[in-house]
């Protein structure tokens, strides 16, 4: 194998944080090389150094035998290196075309060949089967579509190496499949791809080799073949053997006889979801599943009043809520955890301790005075509980790794002692080890009377968390699956397929063909 990118003794310190500690490995020309590691292991830091966004504290990188002397983005771009960031980095007010080809806008000012850039942009969006125009503004796109535009920018700019940091975290199944097909095409053209993901099945499917990082150190590089199991990889990543399966279905008592805490009756909206009714019991985890376009995302926003309905009524403990909306609901102990990281609601430039304390300032103060000691111990408790990798409670969230930001959001939500939590994709971007911890945490909270509604695209996650899963298809509820032997991926999928019947969408490859 031709060594293309050589990483030697690479270190990176951020103040006292040692994000990378003497990492050594090589990436071959034209391979798909996956990076795997827990939240905060140093994956993003490593590829930011390759893309010239960060400067190493020690060590070196060689590309094609030549040592990289200057670490800056312009240099990396000239060397044909392009990167998709973990957090979306798009120009919201600009068009799709300008986002895919930002340089043509800037470099040839006054002389942009719009027709040519638009034509090429159209060709690229068509590759993904996206029904959008190159002249459309970015802020009119869904999150998944914005993510794809960023991937396309990278694909068009990366002549040598493409670095993808959790590219699939906002994509649906169909889009993931298309991305995988595009990566295969890139590989056929000899382009090297570095791929970061917490989805190990994806890594198994796409990569030639996998490098594991743990706590800033290099653990090893492994050929991706049949001998390499998902459990092996997870064990190497967390540094201990994990026994059993990651997900096990719930076997505890059912919800029979428990009080209904929230009820949605007949929520409908023209050209959108129709006749959505369900109830949530005290101590229940109620799941929602649907393929892309089934309406689950709209339902999650509608019941929280983030999106208006034409009709429908929400009841809390039997009483109608006149104007559902975030303010009214938060004050009644109902929290909503967003699936959009960018607007996640963290105060990125305020210390973590403030982020955790602000919602509960009254309790953490002595009369009119803020009690810093109480605030600190409150923050430390939750940071400990969620194993957030952070040097101190005074660190600002903008310096945390993506997964640790997600965990911080989760801990802020839980530190408010909510009665009901509505969570959209609870473990997106969270490593598999921490995923189990978050599941355990949710299940321990429901024993104290918390009720949870979970919207998730991961069926195993729903099966291990939920008492019941409501399945949607074509903007309606198409079925419900209850805890026990009947709660299987096949049963959920058959309902999600709606009128296509099990044979349609569950094709030979288990994919959701035919459903958009």
Ligand X SMILES: Nc1ncnc2c1ncn2[C@@H]1O[C@H](COP(=O)(O)OP(=O)(O)OP(=O)(O)O)[C@@H](O)[C@H]1O
Residues forming the site for Mg ion (CB under 5 A): 44, 86, 401-402
Q: Which stretch binds ligand X (CB under 6 A): 21-29, 36-44, 283-291, 489-497?
A: 36-44
Residue nearest to ligand X (CB): 403
Measure the CA angle with vertex 349, ends 345 and 350; round to 5°.
85
Joined together, the tokens standing for residue 505 give 């969408």
> Would you say 206 or 286 has its CB closer to ligand X?
206
Joined together, the tokens standing for residue 165 give 């940091």
Q: Which stretch binds ligand X (CB under 6 A): 12-20, 204-212, 264-272, 312-320?
A: 12-20
* 397 contacts ligand X (rule: CB under 6 A): no
CB 258 within 8 A of CB 281: yes
* 99 contacts ligand X (rule: CB under 6 A): no
Q: Which stretch binds ligand X (CB under 6 A): 13-21, 132-140, 274-282, 457-465?
A: 13-21
> Would you say 198 or 209 has its CB closer to ligand X?
198
DSSP conformational letter for 259: P
Alpha helices in 295-357 (DSSP H): 296-303, 326-330, 352-357
> Would you say 32 or 400 has its CB closer to ligand X?
400
Joined together, the tokens standing for residue 280 give 């949530």
* Binding residue count for ligand X, defined by CB under 6 A: 20
* 14 contacts ligand X (rule: CB under 6 A): yes
CB 276 within 8 A of CB 312: yes
* 404 contacts ligand X (rule: CB under 6 A): yes
Estimate to the nearest angstrom the gap between the alpha carbon of 342 and the chain centroid.
11
CB 250 within 8 A of CB 466: yes
Minimum distance from residue 387 beta carbon to ligand X (Å): 12
* 88 contacts ligand X (rule: CB under 6 A): no
Q: Kind and range of the H or E element at 52?
A: none
Residue 500 contact among Mg ion, ligand X, none, beta carbon within 5 to 8 Å by kind: none
* 305 contacts ligand X (rule: CB under 6 A): no
Minimum distance from residue 380 beta carbon to Mg ion (Å): 24
* 170 contacts ligand X (rule: CB under 6 A): no
Mask for 345-384, x = binds ligand X (CB under 6 A): ----------------------------------------
Residue appearing with tokens 């990651």: 246
Among 52, 305, 397, 402, indicate the residue that binds ligand X (CB under 6 A).
Answer: 402
The half-sphere exposure of 106 on its side-chain side, counting CA atoms within 13 A, is: 6
CA–CA separation, 52 and 358 (whole Å): 37
Which residues, in sequence order, are CB contacts of 320 under 8 Å at separation 6+? 313, 314
* 86 contacts ligand X (rule: CB under 6 A): yes
- Strand 260-268, strand 311-316: pairing: antiparallel
* 17 contacts ligand X (rule: CB under 6 A): yes
Estimate to the nearest angstrom the gap between the alpha carbon of 503 and the chain centroid.
30
CA–CA separation, 50 and 7 (whole Å): 9
Q: Which stretch binds ligand X (CB under 6 A): 365-373, 399-407, 449-457, 492-500?
A: 399-407
> Would you say 298 or 404 has its CB closer to ligand X?
404
* 500 contacts ligand X (rule: CB under 6 A): no
Which residues, in sequence order, are CB contacts of 234 under 8 Å at separation 6+? 200, 242, 246, 432, 433
> Would you say 18 or 159 has its CB closer to ligand X?
18
> Would you say 287 or 403 has its CB closer to Mg ion?
403
Backbone angles phi, psi at 434, to 5 degrees: -70, -30
Residues 418-457 that bind ligand X (CB under 6 A): 431
CA–CA separation, 405 and 14 (whole Å): 17
> Would you say 44 or 117 has its CB closer to ligand X?
44
Minimum distance from residue 41 beta carbon to ligand X (Å): 4
Sign of CA dihedral 150, 187, 429, 466: positive
Which residues, in sequence order, are CB contacts of 503 under 8 Å at separation 6+? none
* 39 contacts ligand X (rule: CB under 6 A): yes
Minimum distance from residue 400 beta carbon to ligand X (Å): 5
Residue 389 contact among Mg ion, ligand X, none, beta carbon within 5 to 8 Å by kind: ligand X
* End-to-end alpha carbon distance in the chain: 40
CA–CA separation, 160 and 5 (whole Å): 11
Minimum distance from residue 472 beta carbon to ligand X (Å): 30
Among 71, 91, 247, 399, indicate the residue that binds ligand X (CB under 6 A).
Answer: 399
Among 45, 97, 451, 456, indicate the residue that binds ligand X (CB under 6 A).
Answer: 45
Which residues, in sequence order, are CB contacts of 485 under 8 Å at separation 6+? none
Joined together, the tokens standing for residue 140 give 């009119």
The 10 Å Cβ neighbour count of residue 260 is 16
Q: Which stretch binds ligand X (CB under 6 A): 35-43, 249-257, 324-332, 501-509?
A: 35-43
> Would you say 364 or 400 has its CB closer to ligand X?
400
> Would you say 12 or 250 has its CB closer to ligand X?
12
DSSP conformational letter for 321: P
Residue 19 contact among ligand X, Mg ion, none, beta carbon within 5 to 8 Å by kind: ligand X
Q: In the complex, which residues of this chain contact ligand X (CB under 6 A)?
A: 14, 17, 19, 37, 39-45, 86, 389, 399-404, 431
């Amino acid at each position: 194998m031709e060594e293309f990118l050589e990483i030697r003794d690479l270190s990176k310190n951020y103040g006292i944080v040692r994000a990378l500690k003497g990492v050594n490995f090589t990436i071959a020309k034209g391979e798909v090389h996956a990076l795997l590691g827990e939240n905060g292991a140093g994956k993003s830091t490593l590829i930011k150094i390759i893309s010239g966004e960060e400067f190493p504290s020690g060590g070196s990188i060689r590309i094609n035998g030549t040592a990289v002397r200057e670490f800056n983005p312009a240099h990396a771009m000239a060397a044909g290196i392009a990167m998709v960031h973990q957090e979306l980095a798009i120009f919201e007010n600009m068009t799709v075309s300008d986002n895919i080809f930002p340089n043509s806008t800037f470099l040839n000012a006054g002389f942009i060949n719009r027709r040519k850039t638009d034509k090429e942009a159209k060709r690229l969006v068509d590759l993904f089967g996206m029904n959008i125009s190159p002249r459309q503004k970015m802020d009119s796109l869904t999150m998944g579509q914005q993510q794809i535009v960023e991937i396309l920018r990278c694909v068009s700019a990366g002549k040598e190496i493409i670095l993808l940091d959790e590219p699939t975290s906002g994509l649906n199944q169909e889009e993931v499949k298309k991305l995988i097909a595009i990566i295969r095409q890139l590989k056929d053209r000899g382009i090297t791809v570095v791929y970061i993901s917490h989805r190990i099945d994806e890594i198994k499917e796409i990569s030639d080799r996998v490098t594991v990082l743990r706590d800033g150190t290099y653990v090893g590089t492994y050929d991706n073949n049949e001998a390499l199991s998902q459990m092996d990889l997870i064990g190497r990543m967390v540094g201990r053997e994990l026994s059993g399966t990651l997900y096990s279905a719930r076997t505890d008592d059912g919800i029979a006889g428990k009080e209904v805490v929230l009820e949605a009756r007949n929520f409908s909206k023209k050209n959108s979801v129709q006749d959505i009714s369900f109830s949530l019991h005290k101590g229940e985890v109620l799941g929602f599943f649907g393929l892309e376009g089934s309406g689950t995302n709209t339902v999650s926003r509608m019941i929280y009043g983030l999106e208006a309905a034409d009709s429908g009524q929400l009841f809390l403990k039997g009483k109608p809520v006149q104007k559902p909306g975030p303010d009214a609901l938060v004050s009644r102990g109902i929290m909503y955890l967003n699936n959009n990281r960018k607007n996640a609601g963290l105060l990125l430039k305020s210390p973590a301790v403030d982020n955790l304390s602000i919602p509960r300032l009254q309790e953490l103060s002595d009369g009119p005075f803020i009690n810093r000691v109480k605030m600190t111990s409150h923050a430390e408790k939750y940071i400990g509980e969620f194993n957030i990798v952070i040097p101190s409670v005074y660190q600002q969230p903008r310096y945390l790794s993506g997964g640790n930001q997600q965990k911080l959001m989760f801990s802020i939500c839980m530190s408010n002692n909510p009665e009901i939590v509505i969570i959209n994709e609870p473990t997106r971007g969270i490593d598999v080890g921490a995923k189990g911890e978050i599941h355990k945490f949710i299940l321990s909270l429901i024993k104290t009377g918390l009720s949870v509604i979970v919207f998730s695209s991961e069926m195993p996650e729903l099966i291990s968390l939920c008492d019941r899963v409501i399945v949607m298809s074509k903007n309606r509820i198409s079925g419900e699956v209850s805890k026990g032997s009947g709660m299987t991926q096949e049963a959920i999928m058959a309902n999600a397929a709606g009128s296509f019947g099990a044979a349609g969408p569950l094709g030979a490859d288990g994919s959701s063909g035919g459903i958009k």
